[in-house]
Amino acid sequence: MSEYKESKDNPLHKEFGVFSNTKYVLKKMAQYQPSVLFLMALGFVCDSIFSYFWGIFGKYVIDIIQSEEGTSAEKSLVFLIVVAGVIAAALTFGSYLSGMKTWYRYINVRMHIITERVAKVLSLKYELLEKPDVLDVAERAGNAVGGNDNGVEGMMRLLAVLGGDGLTVIVTFVAVTVLDPRLIIALIVLTIIQYVHFRHIIKIDKARVWDQLSGSWRSRNYMERVTQDFDYGKDIRLFNLTGFLSAKFKEVYAVFVEKNDLHHKLWLRHNLISAIVGLIIKGLVYVVLYVAVLQKDMTVGNFTMFLAFSMAFARALINFMEHFGDYRKASLETDDFRSFIELDMGDDEKDTIPVPESDSYEIEFKNVSYRYLKAEKDALSGLNLKIRPGEKLAVVGLNGAGKTTMIKLLLRLYDPTEGTITLNGIDIKKFKRDEYYRLFSPVFQDVEIFAFLMSENIAMMSRDKLDKERVLKSVREAGFDEKVESLIKGIDTPLTKIVEDDGVDLSGGEKQKLALARALYKGAKIVVLDEPTAALDAMAEQALYERFDEMIGKKSAVYISHRLASTRFCDNIAMFEDGHLVEYGSHEELMERNGKYADMFAVQAQYYKEQSENGESGVIVNA
């Protein structure tokens, strides 16, 4: 995939247009909060009438004063005031009701849309999460649902404003045309000039400020997370990283300061243009009205009314065009959101078949290669490997040898650049990913702990759906029961202190045991352990491998490690180096060949032996 972060040719970005986005937003409002449509309409009708209501009221007050006298004038004025008061009260109540009832409904709709974005992120293929283009589109989509006058919520809020301005323009248009058609033309021309400039500023602002900040937002969020994350706290203090991280922070924020300055300069220029246009419009209105008074004998009452209509028209037209500019900006941001939601990276879920039901599965790599984005060479090249039913396979090699890439391909987190992977002779691409994932119980080196209950972290489902007895059994089998029993709430203990004040933080070794319990609870047909013992010492590592080998029984298992504690009890060993499978066979066979595996084994055996002789915890590994 090519990267086009700042190009209109970016295949990940779509432009839907204002009309399409308006339909989209209205549809979402009707879907999640249908009452908000009525309340929004009520508000802009009341606000529109209010903009010229007092001008009409003033005309009739002046007409009564000029044409009637005595008691008749007083009665007429009282009646007019009562009627006007009732109408004004109704308009005020309608406007207030709309304002009080719509704002949180807009937020409610936005929260539902945020949920849609989260669901999209969770459904993306894993390898897409490592692509900068996708991350940028996802970041922009997040900004588009950030609230207030931005993106989707901005369109909802501005729809109400545009409705009021538009209705006012329509109602007052006729009155101003009757006064002087030339005034209408002049006001429209001036408004268009202001709008064109406004639109120009919007485009520059988005292209030169907000679009270029999309990558910087990720950097800023990362820096804020790192500096406040408990897991980083020890390193920051012990390695005295305060000055270093502060400098990094300043670098990131320097970009925001620069773009913020440009943003304010652009809008200062536009505000100056708006002020000049506003003065010209007011001047034209008063000139036309004075001419009408002098040449057409316009009454004072009509002067008041037409002044109100003219100013309401000019103000509404300017506001409409400016708000429409804001609306277009929000629409462009909604483009970002919809581009992500409708992101199509190729549908590989069509015409899929069910994963065959079987007590055992055979997986085969057939000339499989994989190359990361922008990499100069394959991370894994020409791999031919078969994992037979019930086989225990050890995948070994130094860091960067291709072990983890092989596992990600096995789990179908990646799809091969070349070659195929089959399950019982069928290309795994023919299966739905979710069904294929159910075949595996993985344990990774980096164990991710969620801020949920311990039981939920093990079962990976909500507490009302999990099987507590099964959780406890998995805890015991993983050797994690001593830790769980030491906790007052046991498996109902919340983990991490991010959400709950009484949350518990686990050590590296405890996290690994929780991950083992997680894999045991899932109970899938194939077990994958990707360097799960990195946080354990050598003796604990070998003991854990032996215990876990007993627990998985006749299931297929793949053990990945750059240490060799797992190899002795495995059926076969696959040795990787520089992305290639360089040796394959049983431990005894590879030792007899006296090749790369034998060399690595001898080095590690000597290391363990030296540890034992020095009285350190260790295991003497005999060849």
Residue 3, pLDDT score: 35
Which of 284-298, 315-329, 422-436 bottoms out in mean pLDDT, i.e. has the lowest? 284-298
Residue 35, pLDDT score: 93
Q: Within a domain: residue 11?
A: no
Residue 205, pLDDT score: 82
Residue 593, pLDDT score: 92
The rounded mean pLDDT for the chain is 82
Contact present, 568 and 623 (Cβ < 8 Å):
no
- Boundary (domain end) residue, out of 523, 553, 568: 523
Whether the pLDDT of residue 8 is over 60: the answer is: no
Average pLDDT over residues 100-123: 89
Q: Can you read off the two tokens belonging to residue 179?
A: 């006064």
Q: Within a domain: residue 573?
A: yes
| 430-471 pLDDT tens trace | 998 888 999 999 888 788 888 899 999 999 988 889 999 999
- Whether 380 and 280 map to the same domain: the answer is no
Q: Which long-range contacts (CB under 8 A, 24 or more apart) does 533-539 make?
A: 533/561, 533/563, 533/565, 534/445, 534/508, 535/507, 535/508, 535/509, 535/511, 536/509, 536/512, 537/617, 537/618, 538/563, 538/565, 538/608, 538/611, 538/617, 538/618, 538/619, 539/617, 539/618, 539/619
Q: Within a domain: residue 418?
A: yes
Which of 31-40, 234-243, 291-300, 597-606 holds the top average pLDDT?
Answer: 31-40
- Whether 52 and 172 map to the same domain: the answer is yes
Which of 100-104, 252-256, 444-448 holds the top average pLDDT?
Answer: 100-104
Average pLDDT over residues 155-182: 85
What is the length of the chain?
Answer: 623
Q: Within a domain: residue 231?
A: yes
Which amino acid is residue 564, in one-letter code? L
How confident is residue 97, by pLDDT bands cut at 50, 70 and 90?
very high
Whether the pLDDT of residue 17 is over 50: the answer is: yes
How confident is residue 551, by pLDDT bands cut at 50, 70 and 90?
confident
- Whether 78 and 217 map to the same domain: the answer is yes
- Whether 478 and 559 map to the same domain: the answer is no
| 122-153 pLDDT tens trace | 888 887 777 777 877 888 888 888 877 788 99
| 359-405 pLDDT tens trace | 889 999 999 999 987 788 999 999 999 999 989 999 988 888 888 89
How confident is residue 534, by pLDDT bands cut at 50, 70 and 90?
low
- Whether 405 and 548 map to the same domain: the answer is yes
Contact present, 54 and 92 (Cβ < 8 Å):
no
Give the number of domains in the chain: 3
- Whether 80 and 157 map to the same domain: the answer is yes
- Whether 516 and 542 map to the same domain: the answer is no
- Whether 401 and 507 map to the same domain: the answer is no
Average pLDDT over residues 253-268: 83
- Boundary (domain end) residue, out of 523, 554, 581: 523
260-288 b/e with 16+ CB inside 10 Å = b?
A: eeebeebeeebeeebeebeeebeebbeeb
Q: Within a domain: residue 157?
A: yes
Q: Which domain holds residue 465?
A: 448-523
Average pLDDT over residues 527-541: 69
Whether the pLDDT of residue 622 is over 60: the answer is: no
Whether the pLDDT of residue 350 is over 80: the answer is: no
How confident is residue 604, by pLDDT bands cut at 50, 70 and 90?
confident
Q: Within a domain: residue 352?
A: no
Q: Within a domain: residue 13?
A: no
Whether the pLDDT of residue 353 is over 70: the answer is: yes
- Boundary (domain end) residue, out of 341, 373, 394: 341
CATH code where residue 452 lies? 3.40.50.300
How confident is residue 112, by pLDDT bands cut at 50, 70 and 90?
very high
Q: Within a domain: residue 5?
A: no
Residue 538, pLDDT score: 62
Contact present, 569 and 393 (Cβ < 8 Å):
no
- Whether 337 and 363 map to the same domain: the answer is no
Residue 237, pLDDT score: 67
CATH code where residue 68 lies? 1.20.1560.10
- Whether 518 and 570 map to the same domain: the answer is no
Rounded Cα gap, residues 562 and 398, in angstroms? 5
Contact present, 593 and 585 (Cβ < 8 Å):
yes
Whether the pLDDT of residue 295 is over 60: the answer is: yes
Residue 10, pLDDT score: 55
Percent of the chain predicted with pLDDT > 90: 27
- Whether 326 and 296 map to the same domain: the answer is yes
- Whether 428 and 484 map to the same domain: the answer is no
